[in-house]
Amino acid sequence: MSRVIAAIRDHAIATPRATALAGLSSSISYAALYALVSGLGKRLRAIAPRVVALQAENGPDWALADLAALSTDICCVPLPTFFSAGQCAHVLASAGVDLLLTDRPDAADLYGASSVERFHGSLHAVRLPTPEVPLPPGTRKITFTSGTTGQPKGVCLSTAAIEAVVTSLCDASRADATDRHLSLLPLSTLLENIAGLYVPLMAGARTHLLPGANVGLKGSSSVDPLTMIAALDSVEATTSVLVPQLLHGLVGAFAAGCARPAQLRYIAVGGATVSPRLLRMAADFGLPVFEGYGLSECASVVAVNRPGDNAAGTVGQVLPHIEVDIGHDSDIRVRGAGFLGYLGDAPRAPDAWVDTGDLGELDEAGHLRITGRRKNIFITAFGRNVAPEWLERELTLQPEIAQAAVFGEGRQYNLAVIWPRNGVSDEAVRLAIATANLDLPDYAQVTAWLRADAPFSPANGQLTTNGRPRREAIASTYAGRIESHYQEEAYGLLY
């Protein structure tokens, strides 16, 4: 039996009336949760799908469906609600999904549904005539990351790998039954699925699962920090998980005078690089923020800071089930809780090393420091190596700049594609860039910038689901304007 399901069963016996899941208008006790998961598991066995996909807003129904699949060893594919119809069709076909559980039954015709029936609550069971696809043996969850060509890429994971991370995170975050977790990220994000659902349930804690609009998320890349703070306050949240953009929003709101929710004790932040200055600002406002690092190929979290050991400038100590190797050129390799392979590729041994593509170092105490990504580093015309994540952290720390992607390979100066915050003028952006440049050496300073036509988002292929800019897509979209800037410089036309 899955460790998470076994923990739910044990809590149902020991503390049957304790709240496990809370939604907008109702809650589910541990006793009721175990009974519901068992019943829905039987329902899934009767339907007997090869692979089930799950697409719905955050809420108890999403959790029940996911846990039912976990209890039956049926492979589950969380499908982000912000994926386009084309991306959804790609996921369903590439994973061989023959059953879709969704709160959007009206979309069933888009995928050639053979039948639609009520499954539970807001969820409908949509049967799909999808051909079978070979999966690596033991695949129980397929998480999709943004691929470099625009189509999502499927990472196949085992229950054992996922639950190794869950167990380690319970210890690292000191989760216990008194916690109240508020899920801010979509549950279809592997990090939230593990840290926001499985970890609290393993600990016997309560998880609040609310639709995105009720926690301040608008679509896939916009946030209302005031709504988010109100949600944290209203449920008396003790824990939550953030990506850097959400943390930036919270810090900005606190700087404007909003009161910090009093009950918070552990906020994990990850998914993309975080500016050390932003972390210091968060700490100044009393936010208990702990930076972490992970990748889908290792079932999410690899390292994280923790209470009593929050090492500034690092992503924390490596989790106990993980082994990290730093190559002579600073390349990070990871072993432990490894993935089973990518969809469409040959299976791989789960205990094989994973080349992360990231660069970093380990200090004497075992804290991991990330310095950049190998493929993102560019070399300027003056021969200087620049990690664009570094510059982007400093730019987005400025309140005027919401998103930035920096380029400069082989060029005499660096250029940023920027999405400003609402209502910010070009002059204000120029001043914000100048402020950021004060903390950068001359070779790393941003000299030119372009205003993006739209925010970077997973929907337009310019942002990963974890919040990282997809540089290839951004560079392709703005290639003409970027080249024009550099050509004007070459002819002395910039002023």
Q: What is the pLDDT of residues 305-338, one digit of tens each?
A: 999 999 988 999 999 999 999 998 899 999 999 9
Q: Tell me, yes or no, if the two domains 3-133 and 159-373 fold the same way.
A: yes
Residue 492's pLDDT is 38
pLDDT at 372: 79
The whole-number pLDDT of residue 151 equals 65
- Write down the pLDDT at residue 418: 97
Tokens describing residue 449: 């910038």
pLDDT number for residue 220: 55
> Would you state the pLDDT for residue 375?
80
- Give the residue ranges of DSSP H helices in 15-98: 30-47, 60-72, 85-94
pLDDT score recorded for residue 489: 53
The domains of the chain are located at 3-133, 159-373, 378-490
239, 266 contact by CB (below 8 A):
yes
The answer to whether the beta carbons of residues 4 and 198 sit under 8 Å apart is yes
Strands of 428-486 (E only): list them: 446-451
- Residues in the chain predicted with pLDDT less than 50, given as ranges, are 147-150, 490-495
Sheet of strand 354-362, all strands in order from the earlier edge strand to the far edge: 323-326, 331-335, 354-362, 368-373
Give pLDDT, residue 381: 64
CB atoms within 10 A of CB 8: 24
The two tokens of residue 268 are: 């994990």
pLDDT value of residue 442: 80
Class of domain 378-490: alpha beta
Phi, psi of 443 (to 5 degrees): -70, -20
Query: Is 291 in contact with 283 (CB distance < 8 Å)?
Result: no
Residue 443: the pLDDT is 79
- Could you tell me which CATH number the domain at 3-133 has? 3.40.50.980
Return the amino acid letter for 233: D
Distance CA 218, CA 319 (A): 33
Residue type, 220: S
Q: Nearest-CA neighbor of 157 among 174, 170, 176, 144?
A: 144
What Cα–Cα distance (Å) separates residue 252 from each residue in 229, 265, 315, 335?
A: 11, 20, 23, 38
Q: What is the pLDDT of residue 278?
A: 84
Structure tokens at 458: 């997973």
**CATH architecture of residue range(s) 159-373:** 3-Layer(aba) Sandwich (3.40)
Q: Residue 241 and residue 57: Cα distance in Å, rounded? A: 17
pLDDT at 410: 76
